[in-house]
Amino acid sequence: MDRHAALAALVEPDPAAKVALTRAAAGAPAGDGPAPPLVAAAPGRPARPLLVHPASVARRGPGSEAGRAALIHAIAHIEFNAINLALDALCRFGGMPDAYYADWMKVALEESHHFSLLAAHLSTAYGHDYGDFPAHDGLWSMAEKTRDDVLARMALVPRVLEARGLDVTPAMRQALAAHGDADAAAILDVILADEIGHVAIGNRWFAHLCAERGQAPDEAFERLRTAYGAPRMRPPFNVAARLAAGFTSAELEAWAA
């Protein structure tokens, strides 16, 4: 795995090329020295989709073909952002153990697979391309806020924003299956299984960094969540998935209360 090659994938705007470069970075031998410092706040992304305020994104139910296409596009947009989030975590933060970089390269590779599956299904089943629907940039905004502190990044992106996917994916999967899109439901099965592992990676490095800095994880998490304006943890939770991803029963019970 080469962090220089991963940086090339991060700044690539074309989705298909970004996927190809991510795969190449995962298979490349390690380069010499750390990755070059990042100078841009945002990763490479295509001109479309049009990014709008979250409240302006149209909500369409899966009961219609247009609604299913919009839903699959929205999930594809999340997965595209997730490629960039994993690559950014890999490239931005120096001085971490080798296992940290290997973990986030694995995440980037799996997120690129998810995006490719969804983009292909959107095209073949619904006649749409990624970029055909407006989208919002809420996931990346937290990455920008936490760009100067790896502890804050691990606390608030995998453990808050990405972990939310563990809670909402089963219902989306059920809705798509109920309306006849078994292929999309199968893709979401793959995504959910992989995302448990991705959140577990975030939990593991959050715990590692807390121990390294001598901070109590529960206190550090609430302090960072408040300081960076991250959403509150709100039930209902997918308890089985969250436990498998490394959350504790005590955490889930406290948040549920």
Spell out the domain ranges in the chain: 3-29+62-256
pLDDT the model gives residue 136: 82
How far is the C-alpha of 10 from the C-alpha of 194, rounded, in Å?
A: 21
For position 3, what pLDDT does the model report?
83
As a whole number, mean pLDDT of residues 41-67 equals 81
Nearest one of 234, 229, 226, 230 to 252, comparing CA atoms: 234
Give the residue among 26, 189, 13 at the shortest CA–CA distance from 103.
26
Highest mean pLDDT among 46-50, 52-56, 245-249: 245-249
Which of 198, 222, 199 lies closest to 210, judged by CA?
222
Q: Which of 130, 125, 100 is nearest to 182 (CA)?
A: 125
Predicted pLDDT of residue 60: 72
Q: Please tell me whether the overall predicted TM-score, pTM, comes out greater than 0.85 for this model.
A: yes
Q: What is the mean pLDDT of the chain?
A: 91
pLDDT > 90 fraction of the chain, expressed in percent and rounded: 76
Give the chain's end-to-end CA distance (angstroms, integer).
43
Who wins on pLDDT, 172 or 136? 172
Cβ proximity of 176 and 75 under 8 Å? no
Reported as a pLDDT band with limits 50, 70 and 90, residue 257 is: confident
| Cα separation, 240 vs 218, whole angstroms | 20
Say if residues 22 and 6 touch (Cβ distance below 8 Å). Answer: yes
CATH of domain 3-29+62-256: 1.20.1260
**Which token pair is 154?**
């691990």
Please tell me the distance from the alpha carbon of residue 207 to that of residue 216, in angstroms, as a whole number. 9
Contact between 112 and 19 (Cβ < 8 Å): yes
Q: Token digits for 23?
A: 């795969």
